[in-house]
Structure 1
Amino acid sequence: MNKIAIQKPNIPENLQTADFHDAVTQDDVISMHLFEDCTICGEDIERLCVEKTVFRNVVFIDVSFRHIELTDVIFEKCDLSNADFSGAVIHRTSVKQSKMVGMNVAEATLRNVSFEECHGHFSSFSYSNMKQVRFDHCACALMQSECSNTVLQQTHFDGCELEGASFTGTSLQNMDISTCRFEQLHVSLDKLKGCKIAPEHAIAFARALGAVIV
């Protein structure tokens, strides 16, 4: 499997550790900060702009950052469960070893984004546009999640759990999901031409075609 080349976040050295409230400017911009070993709770900021920033071991509780803009950002060992990032624009961003259960990234634009060893039951990427995006060894990256009516260009899934995920209305043509795990996948049959799967996936696709396995 040929991996997609992803531009890494451009993060300066010696970032300044900050409190979230102190770091947000009057224009709702956060730039060149390190947030570490803390909790961000109850924040509701639309069109927040975050750049050249690292979140490390941060827990997000009841946060809504609709239409957030993330450029050159790293989330490492964070808990983003149920965070609302709908309508986001995300570029050169890395999410590592983080929890994304129920995270809402619907109607977002993702470019040069990587998700590594993340957990994300019930997350939503529906109606998003992804290009040069990687999901690597995400044990539950898209399990029971929504990826419906999504544009996937140069998007790579390697060793991910896709059980019960919905890709209805989404083209998987010429994509390689052969290293992923699933017994049931919700797909649009007219958008599967050239999709590469493993032999054990054939039963799931046969069921999608209406075949009865005996």
Structure 2
Amino acid sequence: MSTVPKKQQAPKIPARLPEANFQDVYIEEDPYLANALISNTIIEGEELEKLVLSRVKFKNVRFLHADFQRVDMTDVVFENCDVSNASFSEGIMHRVVFKDCKLVGLNLSLCHLSNVLFDHCVANMSNFYEARLKQVAFQHTSLQSANFHGTLFKHIGFDHCDIDDINLTETELNGVDISTCSFERITVDLDCLTGCIVSKDQAIGFAALLGLKVKEDA
């Protein structure tokens, strides 16, 4: 059974988008790009603050040293992209999908995410420090050593994800279902675990954190 939020909204993007060059963001006085397909290219060394993206699809795009602080995305899709070590800190994302993407070290700290899907991605060491996540789903995604310190979760789904060694300190997990996820260790505040949905095996592991000794059946 999937743990993806049922009411999550998908990006509203036309079936056909005209090909564009990322440099088109500079046509307007403020960096803005809409109704565009960016594909099979490398975006390198771009530093743009308050970039606005609307109804844009990135396909087979590699971002190198990209810094888009306070980015504003609505109806955007990243498909088979490498966005590793890029920074979208303090940004806003609404109806955004990352599919089959490499997101290692992606900085989403202090971001507001709503209706965002991470599908079959590698997001190890990604940073969600004090971000606000609503109607966000991670499915079949690796989140090893990701930082969720102080993150606000509201209607969040983790479906068959690798969450080994993630940091969940100061993050309330009430109603969050991690029962299908795999991990050997995570960092979490015990008082934030109330209401977290776990599997039987995971419950035994958390019992050890509480100092309990689980007796095997005779």
Task: Report the TM range for the smaller structure's normalisation.
Answer: over 0.9
The code of the aligned residue for 1:178 comes to S
In 2, Cα distance between equivalents of 1:135 and 1:50: 22
Give a deviation string over 1:93-125, Cα, whole Å, max 9, x none: 111000000000000000111110000110001
The code of the aligned residue for 2:115 comes to N
- Work out whether 1:114 is the aligned partner of 2:81: no
- Work out whether 1:56 is the aligned partner of 2:56: no
Give a deviation string over 1:138-184, Cα, whole Å, max 9, x none: 1x1x2111001010000110000000000000001121110000110
Do the aligned partners of 1:149 and 1:170 also contact (CA within 8 Å) in 2?
A: yes
- Work out whether 1:13 is the aligned partner of 2:24: no
In 2, Cα distance between equivalents of 1:13 and 1:174: 36
In 2, Cα distance between equivalents of 1:102 and 1:67: 17
In 2, Cα distance between equivalents of 1:123 and 1:36: 24
Aligned position for 1:157: 158
In 2, Cα distance between equivalents of 1:86 and 1:207: 36
In 2, Cα distance between equivalents of 1:73 and 1:56: 11
Q: How far has the Cα of 1:212 moved from its partner?
A: 7.4
Do the aligned partners of 2:4 and 2:138 also contact (CA within 8 Å) in 1?
A: no
- What are the ranges of 5 or more consecutive residues in structure 1 without an aligned counterpart? none
The CA RMSD measured in Å over matched residues stands at 1.6
Q: How far has the Cα of 1:207 moved from its partner?
A: 3.9
Find the residue that maps to 1:85 and give its secondary structure. coil
Q: How far has the Cα of 1:204 moved from its partner?
A: 3.2
The code of the aligned residue for 1:182 comes to F
Query: Normalising by the residue count of structure 1, what TM-score does the alignment of the two structures yield?
Result: 0.94
Identity of aligned residues (%): 37
Alignment of 1:78-117 (within 5 A): 78-117=81-120
Query: Normalising by the residue count of structure 2, what TM-score does the alignment of the two structures yield?
Result: 0.92
Q: How far has the Cα of 1:128 moved from its partner?
A: 0.4
Aligned position for 1:126: 129
- Work out whether 1:135 is the aligned partner of 2:156: no
Q: How far has the Cα of 1:211 moved from its partner?
A: 5.3
Aligned position for 1:188: 189
In 2, Cα distance between equivalents of 1:13 and 1:126: 34
Give a deviation string over 1:3-43, Cα, whole Å, max 9, x none: 31211101023211111113433211111110001000000
User: Which residue, out of 58, 67, 87, partners 2:70?
Assistant: 67
Moved over 4 A (4+): 210-214
In 2, Cα distance between equivalents of 1:11 and 1:178: 33
The code of the aligned residue for 2:84 comes to S
In 2, Cα distance between equivalents of 1:6 and 1:200: 29
User: Which residue, out of 42, 47, 53, partners 1:44?
Assistant: 47
Do the aligned partners of 2:4 and 2:139 also contact (CA within 8 Å) in 1?
A: no
- What are the ranges of 5 or more consecutive residues in structure 2 without an aligned counterpart? none
Do the aligned partners of 1:46 and 1:67 also contact (CA within 8 Å) in 2?
A: yes
Aligned residue pairs, count: 212
In 1, Cα distance between equivalents of 2:110 and 2:132: 7
Do the aligned partners of 1:30 and 1:51 also contact (CA within 8 Å) in 2?
A: yes
In 1, Cα distance between equivalents of 2:213 and 2:125: 28
In 1, Cα distance between equivalents of 2:79 and 2:198: 31
Q: How far has the Cα of 1:210 moved from its partner?
A: 4.4
Do the aligned partners of 1:23 and 1:33 also contact (CA within 8 Å) in 2?
A: no
